[in-house]
Structure 1
Amino acid sequence: MSAAGRSADGRLLGGYVVLYLVFLYLPVALIPLFSFNDSIQAAFPLKGFTLGWYQSLADNEALYGALLTSLFVAMIAASVATLCGVTIAYMEMRGGSRAASVISGLARLPILIPGVVAGIALLILVNLAGLGPSRSAVVLGHVLVALPTTVVVMRSRFAAIPKSIAEAAADLGATGWPTFARIMLPLAAPAIGSAFMLAFLTSFDEFIVAFFLAGAEPTLPLFIWGQLRFPKALPSVMALGTTILVASIAIAALAEALRRRGLSVTRPAPGRIPASPVTATR
């Protein structure tokens, strides 16, 4: 292919990427824009600048209740999902048994299950268990939703840790649990923090499963869904959505920074021999 042909293909690819990004992110960018608009109509031209919609959030007790419910559910669900994800990923990557691989595959399976199907199945399950739609039911549902994220993150982290580290620990007389607790966990700590944050975001933003399982205590996404029935509440919803968007981006960025930091622990600089974590823990 000639240089002119490659240049034309590059321009076409670049144009496609630009159009894709505009289609994907322009609607998201409009939410913060209209949240400062001094009008209940989300339309151009803008009427003026105001912070009133953000101030109105401070006086909404129902909003605070839904926020506290979402924070509680996300903290518990993320903690349980991270604990299970660490255990499952370590079993698969270091144990190497067939059962561990099957368990890991089942833990990642919810990614492929449509949310509506998962929500209906979980609703039937919690009703049979006697829980019914409740905060506890939402926690269980969100553990299922967040678990694949933690397993995927931790699998990649444990896979990046050289097997020679565990072999050196075994040569020094360390058994399975000391090796895991004193060597593997410290090396995987940044990834564990990243997995927890991503699981927290997954639970906090999840709507479909919470729609089926929530009882009298709605989560924040359910509260936002309910407010959309009232046209006058739309600007406050956009202000709330902007706040959630900024917080989500900050948490996701921190999770990615932790993940990269964890990778750098076992990725020595060129020409440099890293210190052995085995000898450091003796």
Structure 2
Amino acid sequence: MRPNWLGAYALLYLLFLYAPILLLPLFAFNDATIVAFPLRGFTTQWFGEMWENATLRRALGNSLIIAGSSAVLSTCLGIFAARASTRFRFPAKGGIMGAIMLPLVLPEIIVAMSLLVVLLSIGVTLSIVTVIVGHTLICMPYAITVLTTAFASLDPAFEEAAQDLGESKWGAFRLVILPLVMPGIISALLISFTVSLDEFIIAFFLAGNQPTLPTYIFSQLRFPASIPMIMALGTVLVLLSIVMLTIAEYFRRRGAARTGQNDRGFL
């Protein structure tokens, strides 16, 4: 029997990708200010310092506001785009959808610099609002990808039957279509929230003097004494991201089962 080289390669790749993440909790609970082996002992001191840091709490609050607003805006706009692309035909449909999805493949630093130049040229002051605008632009392709799959899996006969029974187009959409794609909407919300919460480059360029969680973490990497606290914060963020993506995948699979869609997910 030939050795499974592909399986070995996949295992090595996953180890290379996730081994640094697995080290985060080790050093987060390590009773030493130097991130190095051997470990000295177990402590929860760094989590306590993380919670007591006022600047960190402010950055976390800003990031939660930005992530929540960006998730809602990108999902609402994604509903319109996904609905239009799957239900209607219109001129230059492919080009328009391609332009909307372009931020998914463009380097984020190019998008950030372009937004910075445009916003400053029209006199907009950099703040949390400008970061929300940038994150909405970045998160929309992710939301559209999830929602397009949800809308495309629906049988148009559902909506037509509702209209035949006396419902208006809006009523059929609200009472029939939206409940069927609700798992996809929740999944798009959670994925957009996670992407926005972890995004650094757009926030670095557009936040002004308002710190976000990623920019705060970047600023603290210059101080060795702050590294253990950052490790504790990273552990919390990794766990939060895993929980959010797991919930999003659960709702995506629930929607796939409801509409009879092939179950090919993110996880």
- Range into which the TM-score falls when normalised by the shorter chain: over 0.9
Paired residue for 2:189?
196
* Mean CA deviation greater in 154-163 or 231-240: 154-163
Paired residue for 1:180?
173
Q: What is the SS of the residue equivalent to 2:34?
A: coil
Paired residue for 2:239?
246
Deviation >6 Å, runs of 4+: none
* Mean CA deviation greater in 164-173 or 104-113: 164-173
Residue in structure 2 matching 1:261, options 227, 232, 254 = 254
Aligned residues: 261
Residue in structure 1 matching 2:140, options 147, 151, 164 = 147
Larger radius of gyration: 1
Deviations, residues 224-265 of structure 1 (Å, cap 9, x unaligned): 000101001000000001001101110110010011111111
Q: Is the 1:88–1:103 contact (alpha carbons within 8 Å) kept by the matching residues of 2?
A: no
* Mean CA deviation greater in 183-192 or 129-138: 129-138
* TM superposition shift of 1:97: 2.3
For structure 2, the residue ranges without an aligned partner over 5 or more in a row are 262-267
Instruction: State how far apart, in whole Å, the 1-side matches of 2:173 and 2:159 are.
Output: 9
Instruction: State how far apart, in whole Å, the 2-side matches of 1:50 and 1:242 are.
Output: 14
* TM superposition shift of 1:99: 4.5
Deviations, residues 64-107 of structure 1 (Å, cap 9, x unaligned): 00000000111111111000000110011011323444332222
Q: What is the SS of the residue equivalent to 1:80?
A: helix
Instruction: State how far apart, in whole Å, the 2-side matches of 1:266 and 1:13 are.
Output: 34
Q: What is the SS of the residue equivalent to 1:217?
A: coil
Paired residue for 2:208?
215
Paired residue for 1:106?
99
Instruction: State how far apart, in whole Å, the 2-side matches of 1:215 and 1:129 are.
Output: 16
Instruction: State how far apart, in whole Å, the 1-side matches of 2:192 and 2:185 are.
Output: 10
Q: What is the SS of the residue equivalent to 2:33?
A: coil
Deviations, residues 86-145 of structure 1 (Å, cap 9, x unaligned): 011001101132344433222211011101101100001111232132111111000001
Instruction: State how far apart, in whole Å, the 2-side matches of 1:86 and 1:25 are.
Output: 33
Q: Is the 1:110–1:145 contact (alpha carbons within 8 Å) kept by the matching residues of 2?
A: yes
Deviations, residues 140-182 of structure 1 (Å, cap 9, x unaligned): 0000010101100000001111222233234334442222111
* Mean CA deviation greater in 93-102 or 67-76: 93-102
Instruction: State how far apart, in whole Å, the 2-side matches of 1:87 and 1:203 are.
Output: 20
Q: Is the 1:137–1:213 contact (alpha carbons within 8 Å) kept by the matching residues of 2?
A: yes
Paired residue for 1:81?
74
Instruction: State how far apart, in whole Å, the 2-side matches of 1:176 and 1:98 are.
Output: 22
For the pair 1:40 / 2:40, whether they are aligned, the reply is no
For the pair 1:137 / 2:130, whether they are aligned, the reply is yes
Identity rate of aligned residues, in percent? 41
1:11-26 to structure 2, matched below 5 A, reads 11-26=4-19
* TM superposition shift of 1:216: 1.3
* Mean CA deviation greater in 110-119 or 93-102: 93-102
Deviations, residues 3-47 of structure 1 (Å, cap 9, x unaligned): x3xx33xx2111111101100100111111111111112111111
Instruction: State how far apart, in whole Å, the 1-side matches of 2:168 and 2:89 are.
Output: 17
Q: What is the SS of the residue equivalent to 1:58?
A: helix
Deviations, residues 171-200 of structure 1 (Å, cap 9, x unaligned): 334442222111111101111011001001
Q: Is the 1:132–1:213 contact (alpha carbons within 8 Å) kept by the matching residues of 2?
A: no
Q: What is the alpha-carbon root mean square deviation over aligned residues?
A: 1.4
Paired residue for 2:42?
49
Residue in structure 2 matching 1:68, options 47, 52, 61 = 61
For structure 1, the residue ranges without an aligned partner over 5 or more in a row are 269-282
